[in-house]
Chains A and B, each alone.
Chain A
């Protein structure tokens, strides 16, 4: 007891925070135990743990230099009770090049923990998330990043702005304001972490979006405040539209931060309405993207680390996707990049596969 009192006198905040942690854990324990108890959902409909994710192999030719990029992103989904979900995604990505332009391919395999989070669906308005999560800034990072989903394999130039992963807590949800409008939101706080594979910056931010299910239009706004270093602000807009009569998907984002600003506009059109060669064309998608980045106040080292061009850059992308079967697609793209470092051609061709396996008995389909 004397030691606790002495500690409290020396570091009162630390002792208080330990006590608060213990109290919170003791509050959470009954809820967690309750989640383990059998619920009213029939056995055959009770969610089962799943191993899912994607794997792919792509060949990139960047300005004449060939790079082989195999990758696998396993996702574990572990539902607990009827309100909890533990979910995690890892990334294992190889980047192999010929050294000096000849000889065998060599390089490194990057390993990342994209997210490792606990979700608690408190009610129809709020889901509480804690742990490491994808930063909710724009729509690309959270929803379009997986290689089996993205229409063009090269990520947008502005992708590193405001995105990545955060360690902390988040409140999010989506609900109908009226039958024609859904509102969705996410707000979070992230702490500074230098732990290996769990690096994050100290930030706070959020995103608000409106979705009109009738015309299938989505628009939203994101913001982020850095609570360290330059304490800079970032903000962005996103817009998406899937016109009902056409197999067309239009998406765009704008982002502005201390490190730069820019936009991308993308259109993906599935050739399912072309009246000839239907067997092949209904599985084919053509994609175009225009994008521009205005370099910000960023050092060369930081630009290289984040994968951001350090000079103003314009880029046009054109891609072709062929869906061999559900979850398996071949993708190819060509991009032309214009900037003061020299204009270059970027080619990508490869294959992406989405897998999903139950980690328990599922019963009849």
Chain B
């Protein structure tokens, strides 16, 4: 039972940290959406990087999946970020490549 209490306290500490960090998260929120390119050259570069990250990360486990509509891709990439511990930057570039 002591262990359970310790775990609950750890979770509590974690929640407190998350809540405490809340005000600083506004700029981070945008990173969870599809990134926006400022120019067509930047978009091309992001697409190339996105394809590289996609092949390096997704190809570790499975063959190339088809492109889904952006709203589906946003869910799938979030799922894969957790499942395959993909980095935040890789996730954003893969999402850009798969949706733009």
Contacts and interface: CB of A to CB of B under 8 A. Distances in A.
A169 B12 CA distance: 12
A45 interface: yes
Nearest to A129: B82
Bin chain B's interface residue count. 35 or more
A175 B87 contact: yes
A76 to B, nearest CB: 10
A328 to B, nearest CB: 11
Interface of B, helix, strand, loop or mixed by DSSP: helix
Contacts, number: 174
Contacts of A123: 21, 25, 28
B8 A49 contact: no
A13 B2 contact: yes
Contacts of B48: none
A46 B71 contact: yes
A172 B72 contact: no
Contact of B33 (A82, A124, A249): A82
Interface in A143-197: 143-144, 148-149, 169, 172-176, 182, 184-186, 189, 191
A50 B31 contact: no
A365 B31 CA distance: 22
Contact of B85 (A48, A128, A173, A361): A173
Interface in A74-119: 77, 79, 82-83, 85, 87, 119
B87 A85 contact: no
Does more than half of chain A's interface fall in helix, strand or loop, or is it mixed? mixed
A49 B75 contact: yes
A49 to B, nearest CB: 7
B71 A44 contact: yes
B71 A358 contact: yes
Interface residues of A, number: 77
B61 interface: yes
Top 7 closest A-B pairs, CB basis?
A174-B85, A184-B85, A124-B88, A47-B74, A47-B75, A362-B69, A48-B71
Given A45-B34, A356-B76, 20 more contacts: A13-B2, A13-B5, A20-B8, A21-B8, A23-B12, A48-B72, A50-B76, A77-B76, A79-B75, A82-B32, A127-B81, A127-B82, A176-B87, A176-B89, A182-B87, A184-B85, A356-B68, A360-B71, A362-B70, A362-B71
Interface of A: 13-14, 16-17, 20-21, 23-24, 27-28, 30-31, 39-42, 44-50, 52, 77, 79, 82-83, 85, 87, 119-124, 127-129, 142-144, 148-149, 169, 172-176, 182, 184-186, 189, 191, 209, 211, 213, 216, 218, 240, 242, 249, 270, 323, 326-327, 354, 356, 358, 360-365
